Amino acid sequence: MPDAVARPADLDLVQQSYDRVADTYVATGVGDLAPTPWLRAALAAFAEDVRDLGPVLDVGCGPGTVTRHLAGLGVDASGVDLSPRMVAHARRLHPQLRFRVASATELRLEDASLGGVLGWWSLFNLPRDVLPGVLASFRRALVPGGQLLLGTHVGDGDVVRTEAYGGVPVSWTTHLWQPEQVAALLVDAGLEPVAELRLPADGWLHPQVLLAARVPR
């Protein structure tokens, strides 16, 4: 079984922060896909490409909103999240699906075991020196033709957060990335670009980007 990526020292603080915001996150419907047709379209394209290749793992699944959406598109989807409270919500809201507590750095995925991996705005807390190793672990876990779909916040530098989702105290850093930087990391991990969707801030704090990349066949 592959080695885990080194666990960042502050990941416990990140986990505790997401545990604190989980109830508010769910109660306010954060992550609702209904108002985002372009994101739904991207998920539909991803599902069409990978549903026959094998299971899909939603890494940083939160309360399972997107995991459930993928399952509704015919994908064998399951989720993992760093926050036990988020996973408890996911299991309560979507009892027909599989969820477990795990860090993106400690998944120990089997080689060529997945048709797809989803990082739906869930990897921006990983330090810049840790993310490449996590992406490489995803690459090893994907079958030929399998895809990684990754969304993140666009910008330069880092944003230290002390509160989120209505003033709940948190302790995490949002690492901002330019799309070209993320694309280069995906290529360095051994993936080839498939598509890129850039979105304006439009209610977010920063512009957004969603990138798809696949394992060469």
CATH number of the domain encompassing residue 78: 3.40.50.150
pLDDT of residue 6: 58
Residue with tokens 């989803």, as numbered in its chain: 118
Q: Is 90 a member of any domain? A: yes
Query: Residue 23 and residue 5: Cα distance in Å, rounded?
Result: 29
Q: Is 81 a member of any domain? A: yes
pTM of the entire structure? 0.95
Query: Residue 217 and residue 213: Cα distance in Å, rounded?
Result: 12
Q: Is 13 a member of any domain? A: no
Structure tokens at 49: 């490409």
Where in the sequence is the domain holding 69, given as residue range(s)? 54-111
Average pLDDT per consecutive 10 residues, the chain (217 residues; last block may be shorter): 62 95 97 96 98 98 98 98 98 98 96 98 96 98 98 97 94 97 98 97 89 97
Q: Is 189 a member of any domain? A: no
pLDDT of residue 9: 60
Q: Which amino acid type is present at position 135?
A: L
Q: Is 215 a member of any domain? A: no
The tally of domains found in the chain comes to: 1
Contact between 76 and 102 under an 8 Å Cβ cutoff? The reply is: no
Q: Is 101 a member of any domain? A: yes
Q: Is 76 a member of any domain? A: yes
Q: Is 64 a member of any domain? A: yes
Q: What is the DSSP string of the chain?
A: -PPPPPPPTTHHHHHHHHHHHHHHHHHTTTT-STT-HHHHHHHHHHHHHHTTT--EEEET-TTSHHHHHHHHTT--EEEEES-HHHHHHHHHH-TTSEEEE--GGG--PPTT-EEEEEEES-STTS-TTTHHHHHHHHHHHEEEEEEEEEEEEBSSSEEEEEEETTTEEEEEEEE-B-HHHHHHHHHHTT-EEEEEEEE--TTSSS-EEEEEEE---
160: β partners: 173
Query: Residue 77 and residue 97: Cα distance in Å, rounded?
Result: 8
